[in-house]
Amino acid sequence: MDFRQLRYFVAIADSGTFSRAAETLRISQPSLSQQIRNLEDELGVELLSRHARGVALTELGQQFYDHARRILSGVERAREVMHARKGHPRGRVSVGLPTSAARNLSLPLFRELAVRAPDIELHIVEAMSGYLDDFVQGGRLDVALLYDHRAYDDVAWTEMVVEDLCLFVSSRHPWGRRRQVAFDRVFDMPLVLPGRPHALRTVVERLAARRGMTVDALDCDSLPAIARLVTSEGFGAIMPHFAFLDELARNEMVALEICDPTPSWRLSVVVSQRTVNPRGSEAVARALGDVIARLVGDGTWRASLSQPAIPALAPRTPATGDRRQPQV
């Protein structure tokens, strides 16, 4: 067994297919397959279960994956120590951005890092918040923005903003000239919402349940599709104002404030303590926090800032279920 085989195995587990891993690693797929067969032969166990859509970790493969990640992390930390005198974080950092924020946050983040950490290779993953949470827990993301983040071990996190949710309707909708709408009245129109386990769906359903109401909405996890349903099909969508800045600017949508009560959620910057590039991850987390603070400060992002910047990051292991937001 050698370090290269560990790196290959982790890449396959993270990507889910041999072909994507081979492309990322820039080696041929047959060579990659042979390396994994050699590794499995040496260990005497099956690490990966092959299926039509790719591969999945076996039970023993998951255990070996955790060990391999820790080994790779230790090697990367040693490398970072050796590079510390150069003063610049470097290497690949995977960042998960929720769909409602990615379209208006990705470019500012790329620009920020190009100036302050040009040696960082930034990889952005866009997905609904519930999936990003799972990716962080699985060690497949180094940094993420998570709404209503669930406390668990092996992460450092800082709450950044509290954001109110709005009702979006087409500018041609009869409600298009309103400024606000009562929460109970939102359900008088057909709604489209992200499906479970998205945090937004949970926020809306919990608030409705407290008022003895049930949520009947079309499930859709695609932001472009939600936009089309609002602008062309007469649906309403409960989303943060930041999600549809382009549509608002083009006067395709109107954002109504929801009152009595106003649904809101909290946005946190989360850093995995399983990252193989801790120094780079911290640099990206700080840049992300600064970009968010700047967007909130200039009014582009309608939210209340909880933290002006990301403080020093350190491992935290909050108790499961603890909803308080510890500073990291």
Task: Tell me what percent of the residues of the chain surpass a pLDDT of 70.
Answer: 88
Q: Which whole-number Å values give the CA distances from 21 to 12, 67, 257, in the listed order?
A: 5, 19, 45
Q: pLDDT-based confidence at 324, cuts 50/70/90?
A: very low
Q: Kindly report the backbone phi and psi dihedral angles of residue 270, in degrees, each rounded to the nearest multiple of 5, phi listed first.
A: -120, 135
Closest CA to 258 of 163, 164, 161: 164
User: Is residue 223 packed enough to be buried (19+ CB in 10 Å), middle (13-18) or exposed (0-12)?
Assistant: buried
- For 39-76, the pLDDT digits (tens) are 999 999 999 998 888 899 999 999 999 999 888 877 87
Residue 316's pLDDT band, with cuts at 50, 70 and 90, is: very low
Rounded Cα–Cα distance for residues 170 and 308 (Å): 34
Q: Residue 300 pLDDT more than 90?
A: yes
**Tell me, what DSSP letter sits at residue 252?**
S
> Residue 85 above 70 pLDDT?
no
What is the reported pLDDT for 227? 96
The whole-number average pLDDT for the span 313-323 is 41
Q: What is the pLDDT of residues 185-217, one digit of tens each?
A: 999 999 999 888 788 898 999 999 999 998 999
Q: Give dist(CA 126, CA 98) in Å, integer.
A: 6
- Per-residue pLDDT at 129: 76
Residue 255 CA, distance from chain mean position: 24
The model carries a pTM of 0.69
